[in-house]
Amino acid sequence: MTEQPPPGENTRAVHLPPSPMPHQAPLGTPVWRSATFAFETSQEYADVLGDRVPGYTYSRVDNPTSDGFAAAVAALEGVRVGGVTGQAFASGMAAITAVLMTFTHAGAHVVAPAAAYGGTYGLLSELLSRFGVRTDFVDMTDPATVRAAIRPETRIVWAETLANPTMAVADLPALAEAAHEAGALLVVDSTFATPVVCRPLEHGADLVIHSATKYIGGHSDATGGVVVGRTGVMAPVRGVRIHTGGMLAPDEAFLLRRGLETLPLRVRRQCDTAALVAAAAARHPAVARVDYPGLPGHPGRETARRLFDAGPEGTRFGAVVTITPHGGAQAGMALADGLRLAKVATSLGGTHTLAGHIASTTHRQMDARALAAAGIDPGAVRFSIGLEDADDLIHDVNNALTALGRIGVQDGALNS
């Protein structure tokens, strides 16, 4: 037999020895940064790809790091209900899109909040409507209004645990009852709440969605989304994720899973600070309105106390505060521009306090009529409270509000 010569330099470079597989469990999450996986046989390849045996073929289909992140979120959301699985997505909007594409079709109907997140509103009103999906945007804080909007063709009742940006509180058990009586699913975007504040599956929701970019990641350095629910409901969601290619990348999954380990610490602190900022802003004469369910008189306060988690500090009411100054849109922009510690930036839920004029940014998809129906004032500014000291944030917000008076706010308009 002719002796096999050593492989050439190119072959040697490509076929390097594999990395060792440790027997000891790593405390950090391994990052499986591989687009594709190899098999011992063609039959094994076919069986894994056909979901007949567990395994991995291609990271658009499944990836161990991304699956690990989704399972971790499912464990937090489903701690008291069991049988919960998750699917990870490249963004929160990818997750929202997949759920709506999974459970709607031409002629289907959705009931959604009038104060829905702008991306959700635009997807339903501008894109899915082109494919025959109809949506009624209603006041989700009134179960009777929701029941009246449900039709025989309703497939989804869509809710936000804490509405973006009005901080309206959804009565999840009542919405679940209304949806299930009609044979529809209750889908809840719980980005603003996180499992630290509320776990909608415990209150009757079928699916829970998070933009993991926000509090779950928590450091403004990763983009992702996740959907969790019971296995039977989740199975078709995975199929749509695969078909549409919205899989979360492993590096992002690593960062987002790491964020989960400090999620309770961060969110508890942010909720505490938000309550102090909201109370201080409500006392300022330049302020027309503050939306925060922890404030006395907020219409969702009692619902929040019934559904949301509490610690030694009391009920956790979330960490977003929406402040509306007197003076309309120009005053709102001037308030945001007058901040020095808080940053004018997109997104929320990170370590930095962020502020944004709502009508021109996150809810730009809404015209004046839709904004009014959602209860969003043209001057409203959304504050995502970070981890700074409360006194420093209050000082920053007060200075920016006081500056509005020096500019001159009269008769509902800002005068320079």
Please confirm, yes or no, whether 33 is among the known catalytic residues.
no
Nearest in space to 72 (alpha carbons), one of 279, 257, 247: 257
- What DSSP state is assigned to residue 191? T
Catalytic annotation, pick one of 47, 60, 136, 309: 60
Q: Which of 214, 257, 266, 316 is catalytic?
A: 214
Angle at CA of residue 264, ends 263 and 270, nearest 5°: 90
Does residue 45 have an active-site annotation?
A: no
Question: Of the listed 67, 171, 189, 377, which one is catalytic?
Answer: 189
| Tally of CB atoms within 10 A around 267 | 23
User: Is 411 a catalytic site residue?
Assistant: no
Active-site option among 117, 121, 215, 292: 117
Q: Which of 76, 31, 30 is nearest to 262 (CA)?
A: 76
- Answer whether 350's CB lies under 8 Å from 218's CB: yes
How far is the first Cα of the chain from the last one, in angstroms, to the nearest whole number? 94
Determine whether 56 is an active site residue: no
In the numeric block, which tokens belong to residue 383? 């504050």
Spell out the long-range contacts of 54-58 with Cβ–Cβ below 8 A and sequence spacing 24 or more. Answer: 56/32
Inter-CA distances, 67 with 46, 74, 231, 248, 298, Å: 20, 10, 14, 9, 39
For the annotated catalytic residues, the residue numbers are 60, 117, 189, 214
